[in-house]
Amino acid sequence: MVMLQEENEPRSNEPQGEGAGPMPPVADPNPGGSPGRGIGSRKEQFLIAATHIQGIQPLSVNVIERALRDLPDVEVVDTLYPPGLVGALSSLVGGFAEGMPGAQPVIVARMTEEKAETLRQSIGPRLIMEPDRPLFFSMPEFPPPGLRMESPGMVGSHGTGFTVNITVMGDGAPLEGAEVYLYGSLWPAQGRTNANGQVTLTLFGESLTSLRGLYVRPKADYWDSWVPNPAIDPNQDNVVFLTPLNRTFPNFPNEERFGWGQKAMRLDQLPETYRGQGVKIAIVDSGAATIHQDLQQVKKGFDVVEKNDQTWSQDMIAHGSHCLGVIAGLKNGRGIRGFAPDAEVLVIKIFPGGMFSHLIRALDYCMEQPVDLINLSLGSDQRSQILEQRIQRAKQLGIACIVAAGNSGGPVQYPASSAHVLAVAALGKKGEYPPESHHSTTESSFSNGEGYFSPNFSCFGPEIGVCAPGIAILSTVPPDNYAVWDGTSMAAPHVTGLAALILAHHRDFQGPYKARNAQRVERLFQIIKQSSRPLNLGDPHRTGAGLPDVLKALEISPVAFPTIPTDLLQRLLEVLRSGLPPEVGVAAGTGADLQQLRTAMQEAGLLPAPGIGLSGRTSPTAGPAPVGPLLSPWIPGTQGNGGIARGVNMQQLKAAMQEAGLL
């Protein structure tokens, strides 16, 4: 029986009791015959907090912590104090500020499951005790849906196997660090390529005819590859050739571009002055590589796991950097541009190793700042009452949490399933990735005539608020590279970026909803949903209100641009494809046509007036012109850099066309 008695002794920060230290190693059943320490089950972590019961004073955190420290086999790991409730208030009254949920301290304790069950039976209704569960990124799992794996138990210890050698090649050179997965009917074999682009994989209990798929995922700068039913030869080297991103995106990353998802939400048509100024965004993730040229504006962060303000800028996983690029990538003339490049960003690192307790501490940090928005591209298949109270408290303080729905292909995961957040499902569009890439395996029957589809991995349910692009999303990865990823992890940042623009530039948040409270958050979510376009993919629980629209959310009318004749665009593209210098184009009779096109583009705001550089344009960027199917995102780049009439060179014109969505 756990005895909880109020007392006036000061709280001790030192571990007490026999169980306060680490779990002792399992005894060696054969002393002297073992080369090392035996492996046993580790202790689990639990979250413990006082319950707020009407008319009953909550237990003080000192009382709870002292009782736990006095128990054998229990280690108090940490105590999480909400902002503004450190010290006497928390210790004496349990930390409840006027009954506000989520304002109580939380104790993190480590113990065996048996000890935890004993405590649950004895603590009564005055305490909440629940497992401190791990969090996961909201990225698709492998193998792809539909690739059935048999139970590995059918293979005995003497199962036969074979070894294969695979070489991954990039643009004429071997690729180091590519992840290679070879799927049979049982467990996959996996490895990472060496400096020569080579990896050796061994599969047991398989044959050449039982191989189901070969997946190659590069570190950066290339499309991935998915080969179903691969024809593997174990007697020679098997080579996989990957396609560089700049073959799809001409002159990338030397020329800045919007992603297809940003264009789908019409960010590319937003006036240049809308950049999210004055809004503070927190990205709770794996850190951020601030050495990246598109992320150098980020100056502040905190590593919750290591409890320091130095290591947050080290992103070994790259997940946080990818999310950050979509939200706030700099507008610097290269790479990608985020939704809100002028917003202030705080990076809160909780991966690797993120648990519910780390997310609670991250939310506390956000409330201390305070931030306006929190991007959570993470989740769990279990709920938490204690974490839910912290999320509710953040909302009451005017902080909006935008959360990835999850990638299990089932019910919406937590905390996206919370009633106090905006859950974001993923959306894909056919034609935005090479057909031989792994992105094509995410397509589902939930689609429409425009090519939009709900990915087969995206979680769904009535909790979904909106959907956003989450397939083949181009963004930043360490150290100064780019990668194309899938997941609701990629969808949520699109909505977080839009939310930053709304808070910064929508009139409601300069007036009636300026005060930081729950009503502010609700109004923000309402605007995002009301701006959304229903996609009619066959199940509204997969898309919520639909795909948000930047211009509609900000109450901006699109600018009407004059139509550029299709035949002129066709002639221009022929010149761009050929890479011919302008004098050749003029000699061929295209010079006058190009001059006419140039004039039309100036009228449309796609090129500056004579004497004004590209950087001096003030007109909003236009969206794709209605020119029919002749324009393709797969048009190769051109090497031509000669001038086209009046000093506007081909490179500038091509860049303007790309920015306008015409190339």
Check residue 60 and give its pLDDT. Answer: 84
Lowest mean pLDDT among 26-40, 173-187, 454-468: 26-40
CA distance 178 to 433: 19
The catalytic position among 221, 285, 315, 593 is: 285
Q: How confident is the model at residue 660 (pLDDT cuts 50, 70, 90)?
A: low
Tell which residue, 277, 254, 173, has the closest CA to residue 637: 254
Nearest of 258, 210, 248, 194 to residue 436 by alpha carbon: 248
Please tell me the distance from the alpha carbon of residue 76 to that of residue 166, in angstroms, as a whole number: 49
Compute CA 181 distance to the chain's CA centroid, rounded to the nearest angstrom. 23
Query: Which has more confidence, 359 or 617?
Result: 359
Least confident of 35-39, 252-256, 479-483: 35-39
Does the pLDDT at position 120 exceed 90?
no
Identify the pLDDT of residue 41.
83
Q: How far is it, in rounded angstroms, from Cα 382 to Cα 416?
A: 11
Q: Which two tokens stand for residue 503?
A: 């808070």
Class of domain 259-553: alpha beta
Check if the beta carbon of residue 325 is closer than 8 Å to that of residue 281. no
Poorest-pLDDT segment among 41-45, 228-232, 448-452, 482-486: 41-45
More confident residue, 444 or 146: 444
What is the model's pLDDT at position 161?
80
Among 130, 120, 124, 114, which Cα is nearest to 53's?
A: 124
State the pLDDT at residue 623: 33
Catalytic residue among 321, 418, 489, 532, which? 489
473 close to 138: Cβ distance less than 8 angstroms: no
Q: Is 309 exposed, middle or buried (0-12, 13-18, 19+ CB in 10 A)?
A: exposed
pLDDT reported for residue 331: 95
- Return the CATH number of the domain spanning residue range 18-22+42-131: 3.30.70
Q: Tell me if 614 sits within 8 A of 608, measured CB to CB.
A: yes
- Residue (of 566, 574, 568) closest to 640 by Cα position: 574
pLDDT of residue 19: 38
From the list 292, 319, 438, 505, the catalytic residue is 319
Across 203-211, average pLDDT: 91
Can you tell me the distance from the alpha carbon of 438 to that of 35, in angstroms, rounded to the nearest whole number?
Answer: 44
Q: Comparing 155-159, 180-184, 481-485, which segment has the lowest mean pLDDT?
A: 155-159
235 Cβ contact list (under 8 Å, min separation 6): none
- Binning pLDDT at 50, 70 and 90, where does residue 150 land? low
Is pLDDT above 80 for 442? Answer: yes
| Span of 69-83, 433-447, 562-576 with lowest mean pLDDT | 562-576
Burial class (CB in 10 A: 0-12, 13-18, 19+), 27: exposed
- Compute φ and ψ for 308, nearest 5 degrees: -150, 165
Ranges assigned E (strand) in 448-579: 452-453, 464-469, 473-477, 481-485
> Do residues 469 and 463 lie in contact, with contact meaning Cβ atoms separated by under 8 Å?
no
**Residues 336-372: pLDDT tens digits?**
999 999 999 999 999 999 999 999 999 999 999 999 9
> Do residues 339 and 494 touch, judged by C-beta distance below 8 A?
yes
User: How does pLDDT run across 190-199, given as a tens digit for each residue?
Assistant: 999 999 999 9
> What is the third-level CATH fold of 161-243?
Immunoglobulin-like (2.60.40)
**pLDDT score recorded for residue 102:** 64
What is the predicted pLDDT for the residue at 632?
27
Burial class of 1 by CB neighbour count within 10 A (0 to 12, 13 to 18, 19+): exposed
Distance CA 87, CA 143 (A): 50
Report the interhelical angle of 518-530 vs 488-505 (nearest 10°): 110
Low-confidence winner among 456-460, 525-529, 561-565 (lowest mean pLDDT): 561-565
Residue 278 has a pLDDT of: 97
Angle at 478 between CA 475 and CA 480, to 5 degrees: 80
More confident residue, 659 or 586: 659
285 is catalytic: yes
* Sequence ranges of the domains in the chain: 18-22+42-131, 161-243, 259-553, 566-659
**Average confidence (pLDDT) over 102-123:** 88
> Do the bridges between strand 378-379 and strand 400-404 make them parallel or antiparallel, or are there none, so unpaired?
unpaired
Cα(284)–Cα(346) distance, integer angstroms:
9
Residue 163 pairs in a beta bridge with 202
Average pLDDT rounded to a whole number, residues 579-593: 48
pLDDT above 70: percentage of residues in the chain:
73
Q: Are 399 and 440 in contact (CB under 8 A)?
A: no
